[in-house]
Amino acid sequence: MKKATIKDIALLAGVNPSTVSRALKDHPDISTDVREKIKAIATQLKYTPNLAAINLRSKNSKVIGLVIPDINMYFMPSVISGITQLLHQFGFNILVLNSQDNIEKETENIRICCNHGVDGILLSVTNQTTNYNHLQIAYEQEIPIVLFDKTIKQNVFDEVNINDSGAALQCANYLIDKHCKHVLLVLGNPQLKITKDRELAINKALNAKKIFTTPLYANNSMEAYSLTCTMLQNDLTIDGIFGMSDETMVGINAALYQNNKKIHTVVISDGQLPALMTPPMTYVKHDGYALGTLAAKVLLKHIQDSNYRAINQPYWIDTEIIQPTNNQQVNTQ
Amino acid sequence: MKKATIKDIALLAGVNPSTVSRALKDHPDISTDVREKIKAIATQLKYTPNLAAINLRSKNSKVIGLVIPDINMYFMPSVISGITQLLHQFGFNILVLNSQDNIEKETENIRICCNHGVDGILLSVTNQTTNYNHLQIAYEQEIPIVLFDKTIKQNVFDEVNINDSGAALQCANYLIDKHCKHVLLVLGNPQLKITKDRELAINKALNAKKIFTTPLYANNSMEAYSLTCTMLQNDLTIDGIFGMSDETMVGINAALYQNNKKIHTVVISDGQLPALMTPPMTYVKHDGYALGTLAAKVLLKHIQDSNYRAINQPYWIDTEIIQPTNNQQVNTQ
DNA sequence: CTGTTAGCGCGTTCAC
DNA sequence: GTGAACGCGCTAACAG
């Protein structure tokens, strides 16, 4: 059976399609009995409105495009959860476009958003993205864009980010408190703003206290593991470790275990994973869910008010340091 | 500037809209010079086709709905990657609907798919889903549905799954090899087919060898951790552990560490995470990416051939057991 | 080779 | 309180 249309209902009810249209949206003009009759037929026919038709008329799709470099990460899932959760409340649905860390894919994804007539775009860029020329199509069609998480410098679009410097500073203070003298910095891709910001901030804070640092760049957990192993074996002066992400944390944890070392470690993480490391790790919690929610809120502002202009500075999600309590380690019952 | 339409191009080119339509899709009837002229104007106007209009006419949206219980960080991301990667090749985009493990949300998500006129639905159900009545709307509109990962018993729709029994059997054989006598089964939600299948298969295999088993049901890592802790403290005969997922694994690992136990453990997992547990864990690898790809392929068959009928048995992704090599533990460099 | 016409499903404006 | 008519952007059938 095909999809029932308003016309089908009108035929069965012996009324005009426009009457059905009004009845279905509780227009006050329609008499109660006619309305009820029409609604009964609608449910009986299992009528569902055709959003393509509505979209064509109304020129807004109630869909927003979510363009991300990759889903297969620790952080992105909770960000996506936050975004969908908030937008759903306002009746928006999400078209997810994966750029597979490829600038051409990203460009195409922006175009797909335009074709679909999305009401807005949330964009986290690939490692290869160096400018925003490919956003021009969307910009000229007046589709609002909000950048989040993985961004590059610009001053055209609103931007939502973790307070990376703040988070790194919190980590530095922890290591300073522990009287560390030589800190190993386990970092991610050095191309990304997020890596640069965190590295810069922690280096500055530690160096101000005359604490020596050694950076190390790993693209995934396995690399973090093996590089950290090598460092721990070759340099016995290391008495503190900073991990900038969940990926690096897992590698650090394995390396510490493998080399049977106990070294003050602090990481930046999204979730409960640090509590389940062995032993539980101290971490600075950055809330991906909150980031997603905020990004969605900012985009909504642009959608609802076309005169709303981008502010000239990023929106920030602040972080907090979480230390494993004894209670937590021994018994969570 | 508003979105340019075919009409706008026609006006500037001094031709009829239908001519523009044909030129843009390289219809052979159109002369080369007219076609080139039209295309030039199109790019100049930054024309992007209005998919809503095309959808309205052609009655297929090139969008498929992906309805999932939640985007947890372990398994789902790689499944989604597989799905998007394959469907993208065929020009489909993905509307992601998160049911937040809530049956009402799931029902609404199915309805949203219908409203959007998706060409097909990929569905992984919530913990609360006990039947498929809520799929009727989609079924009657002849929207093909393929179930994957989290499913419940039925024989109407095609279904793509990990070979759960096979995976559990591989785990059982490992524990049998290790001469275990009492195995703790750390399982997920007992309502789900995936849990039942894995529990049933490992129980059957172990019991056949007179190996005693104790089941334990946890909804997340933290629960797995605390429940396992309690068991390990109260029952000292446990000499083997089976974890059915990444979630349970992380909890098991923490519990073993906390109680300072070394017990033969094997888990079913998607990725590299087991290799980074402390010590590295033996695991049976189930390939989420492959699962996503296969589910998408099966759905495509239904979309491309409306006469294609569901086969009366699940499609399966086979698994393989991965044991940490000494090499891997000590040095991956 | 190109123009004309009609209609996909819906909501809105204008009648009555 | 309800019906008739139009148009959103696009394409396919039919003309010429």
Band the pLDDT of B330: cuts 50, 70, 90: very low
- Check: CB of residue A213 under 8 Å from CB of residue A305: no
Subunit contact A81:B71, Cβ cutoff 8 A: yes
Task: Measure the N-to-C terminal CA separation of chain A; round to a whole number of Å.
Answer: 54
Q: Is the pLDDT of residue A333 over 70?
A: no
Q: Is the pLDDT of residue A134 over 50?
A: yes
Instruction: Give me the phi and psi of B303, to 5 degrees please.
Output: -65, -40
- At B214 the pLDDT is 97
Band the pLDDT of A34: cuts 50, 70, 90: confident
Find, among B140, B153, B155, the residue nearest to B110 by Cα.
B140
Q: Which of A71-85, A133-147, A174-188, A291-305 has the lowest mean pLDDT?
A: A71-85
Average pLDDT over residues B263-269: 96
pTM of the model: 0.90
Q: Is the pLDDT of residue B307 over 50?
A: yes
- Check: CB of residue A215 under 8 Å from CB of residue A153: no
pLDDT in tens, B88-133: 999 999 999 999 989 999 999 999 999 999 999 999 999 888 889 9
Distance A90 CA to C13 C1' (A): 28
Q: Which two tokens stand for residue B222?
A: 């933290």
- At A326 the pLDDT is 52
Write out chain A residues lying below 8 Å of B85, CB-based: 98, 100
pLDDT in tens, A205-228: 999 999 999 999 998 888 999 999
Find, among B81, B4, B88, B86, the residue nearest to B38 by Cα.
B4
Which A residues 261-290 touch B at CB under 8 Å?
271-273, 275-280
Q: Is the pLDDT of residue B73 over 80?
A: no
Calpha distance B11→B31 (Å, rounded): 18
CA–CA min distance A86, chain B (Å):
12
Name B residues 11-70 whose Cβ lies under 7 Å from strand D.
17-18, 21, 24-25, 49-50, 53-54, 56-58
> What is the DSSP track for A59-128?
S--SEEEEEES-S-SSSHHHHHHHHHHHHHHTT-EEEEEE-TT-HHHHHHHHHHHHHHT-SEEEE---TT
pLDDT in tens, A231-284: 999 999 999 999 999 889 999 999 999 899 999 999 999 877 898 888 899 999
- At A103 the pLDDT is 95
Calpha distance B129→B151 (Å, rounded): 9
Taken in order A255, A261, A266, A270, the sign of the CA dihedral is positive
The β-bridge partners of B240 are: B183, B264
The pairing of strands B320-322 and B282-285 is antiparallel
Average confidence score pLDDT of chain A: 91
- At B326 the pLDDT is 52
Q: What angle do CA B205, B230, B246 make, to 5 degrees?
A: 55
DSSP reduced 3-state for B37:
helix
Distances (CA, A) of A286 to A130, A132, A160: 25, 27, 13
Calpha distance B11→B46 (Å, rounded): 15
| Helical H segments across A134-287, by residue range | 136-140, 164-177, 193-208, 221-234, 246-258
Cα–chain-centroid distance for residue B253? 25
Q: Which residue has the higher pLDDT, B31 or B267?
A: B267
- At A328 the pLDDT is 44
Write out chain B residues lying below 8 Å of A74, CB-based: 73
pLDDT in tens, A292-316: 999 999 999 999 998 898 887 889 9
Q: Quick one: DSSP state of residue A262? A: -
Of B50, B72, B221, the CB nearest to A276: B221
What percent helix, strand, coil does chain A show, rounded to 5?
Answer: 45, 15, 35
Calpha distance A39→B116 (Å, rounded): 20
pLDDT in tens, B182-203: 999 999 988 888 899 999 999 9
Of B81, B116, B137, the CB nearest to A71: B81
Cis previous bond, A279, omega within 30: yes
Determine the residue of chain B that is closest to A69 in CA distance.
B81
Subunit contact A331:B226, Cβ cutoff 8 A: yes
- At B266 the pLDDT is 98
DSSP reduced 3-state for A199:
helix
